Amino acid sequence: MAKIITQTSVFDYTEIEKLGDLERLNIAMEGIDDEKLMKKLESRRKNGRDDYPIRVMWNLLIAMIVFGHKTVESFRRELHRNSQLRRICGLFDHEKRKHLVPPSRVFSGFFKALSEENKEIARIFDVQVGELYELIPEFGKKIAGDGKYIESFAKREATDKSAKDDRAEHDAKWSTKEYHYVDKNGKKQVKKEHHYGFKAHIICDVETELPVAYSVTAANADEKKEMKKLLESPILSNEEHRRIAEYMLLDRGYDSLDMIQTIKGAGIIPVVDIRNCWKDGEATKQYKNTDIVYNAYGEVYHYDFVSVIDNKTGEAKIEWQPVKMKYEGYDRQKNCLRYSHNGKLHKIYVSYDERIFLPIARDSQKFKRIYKGRTAVERLNGRLDRDYMFENHCIRGIKKMTLMVGLSMIIMNGMAIGKIKNGKEKIRSLTNAA
């Protein structure tokens, strides 16, 4: 009897990128639950002028982002020549209306009003993420986090407070990021990068590259603290979502005992790259009172008598040297890593050094395979630069930056939800043939 192979549907963001702007706009609108926000903004306007309704302005802002316009003026030019876009957004040709396309000041006013509703934007985002957990099998099983610098558009604020410039950036901060590496001569080097602006902190689903949690801060914010906050956010601390989560992938910038313990405390296996934090210059350290040693990167060795060739004499000699041990897997019940040497099984208890010894051994192929998935968040960051104009933006202030990041996130997820509900998602087999 033939075995039936089930298939799991997985959303693929590249399918979104193949669509035209108008189609992407339509499915994004379908995937954003914005009714509560619209009512709130409408109630705030009350009896004010309604030449351009709240719903229309909201549609226009979403369209501006989807169509990739950096400035309001360039988007207004698009509206003047694209009647189909005007109709989709709710702008109809009325004889009594002098200006069919809203003037720049109307866009500015709406944007300012909306920047006071970042909590509501975040709520919409959380609702979307909850829906993605329901729509996509194993969504959130593997998550990856990273911080993204967003350089300031405006010049920094003058040190002389008396010379206040309203066009300056008042909320951005300086940050320096260090990259440690070893040059071709084997010497340790440090490369420094300086940033003035903001930082978006993001957690995404590895398989779909869709955002699961985000926050926006000044550039000098502590990445580890912000990542911990995201991990402890309502959507990721949800009991059902925690049961789905299996791995969290982070680069070495997040390497710390506290971070690893936070991830493990959430019931998730940390897959975090490691830094050499040993300051004593030792190449290896002894594991308990044994012949086993390990290095700063989690590689495990067993000392043994080894036959080597003397470089000067060419003769064989016996030396007491470390030999790399074979990784045999993780014992969940005893919380230890198993290594073998000369046919004997050895246990390395994770609790001995929780930062170096993870539930998936750092020197295992499994660790390397899973860690490759971290590039998903890098691709998401690249998408923010390329498709959502953060590489070359004209946003000023933390409120507006938070708003634009939030809008970008809900549009991404909105497109995914809209496309899946329309039955257009890409299907991939995640199982092997019997």
CATH number at residue 387: 3.30.420
Note whether 338 and 239 are same-domain residues.
no
Kindly state the average pLDDT of the residues 218-235: 95
pLDDT tens digits for 340-394?
999 999 999 999 999 999 999 999 999 999 999 999 999 999 999 999 989 888 8
Q: Is residue 106 part of a domain?
A: yes
Q: Is residue 289 part of a domain?
A: yes
Taking 70 as the threshold, does the pLDDT of residue 90 lie above it? yes
Note whether 150 and 234 are same-domain residues.
yes
Note whether 349 and 267 are same-domain residues.
no
Taking 90 as the threshold, does the pLDDT of residue 219 lie above it? yes
Q: How far apart are CA 61 and CA 114, in angstroms?
A: 10
Q: How far apart are CA 222 and CA 244, in angstroms?
A: 28
Q: Containing domain of residue 338, as a range?
A: 285-354
* CA 87 to chain centroid: 35
Q: Is residue 172 part of a domain?
A: yes
Q: φ, ψ for residue 217 (rounded to 5)? A: -140, 175
Kindly state the average pLDDT of the residues 91-100: 60
Note whether 318 and 176 are same-domain residues.
no
Taking 60 as the threshold, does the pLDDT of residue 308 lie above it? yes
Taking 90 as the threshold, does the pLDDT of residue 320 lie above it? no
Q: Is residue 396 part of a domain?
A: yes
Taking 80 as the threshold, does the pLDDT of residue 92 lie above it? no
Taking 90 as the threshold, does the pLDDT of residue 332 lie above it? yes
Kindly state the average pLDDT of the residues 64-91: 93
Q: Is residue 420 part of a domain?
A: no
Note whether 149 and 241 are same-domain residues.
yes
Q: What is the pLDDT of residue 48?
A: 60
Confidence of residue 130 (pLDDT cuts 50, 70, 90): very high
Q: Is residue 425 part of a domain?
A: no
Radius of gyration for the chain, computed over Cα atoms and rounded to the nearest angstrom: 27
- The DSSP H or E segment spanning 212 is strand 211-218
Number of domain units in the chain: 3
Note whether 270 and 291 are same-domain residues.
no
Long-range contacts made by residues 392-398, C-beta under 8 angstroms, separation at least 24? 392/70, 393/70, 393/150, 393/153, 394/70, 394/71, 394/153, 395/153, 396/153, 396/154, 396/167, 396/169, 397/115, 397/169, 397/170, 397/171, 398/171, 398/198, 398/216, 398/217, 398/218
Taking 90 as the threshold, does the pLDDT of residue 162 lie above it? no
Q: How far apart are CA 409 and CA 430, in angstroms?
A: 27
Q: Considering Cα of 52, then 58, then 64, then 70, what sign does the dihedral take?
A: positive
What percent of the chain has a predicted confidence (pLDDT) above 90? 68
Last residue of a domain, one of 297, 326, 354: 354
Q: What is the pLDDT of residue 113?
A: 93
Note whether 206 and 266 are same-domain residues.
yes
Note whether 302 and 230 are same-domain residues.
no
Both tokens assigned to 263: 């991830």
Kindly state the average pLDDT of the residues 261-282: 92
Note whether 297 and 259 are same-domain residues.
no
Taking 50 as the threshold, does the pLDDT of residue 16 lie above it? yes
Q: Is residue 377 part of a domain?
A: yes
Note whether 174 and 269 are same-domain residues.
yes
Q: Is residue 243 part of a domain?
A: yes
Both tokens assigned to 430: 């995640």
Note whether 183 and 224 are same-domain residues.
yes
Q: What is the pLDDT of residue 47?
A: 63
Q: φ, ψ for residue 28 (rounded to 5)? A: -65, -45
**Mean pLDDT, the chain, as a whole number?**
87
CB atoms within 10 A of CB 36: 12
Note whether 248 and 179 are same-domain residues.
yes
Q: What is the pLDDT of residue 13?
A: 84
Helix locations, 247-296, DSSP H: 257-265
Contact 419, 10 (CB under 8 A): no
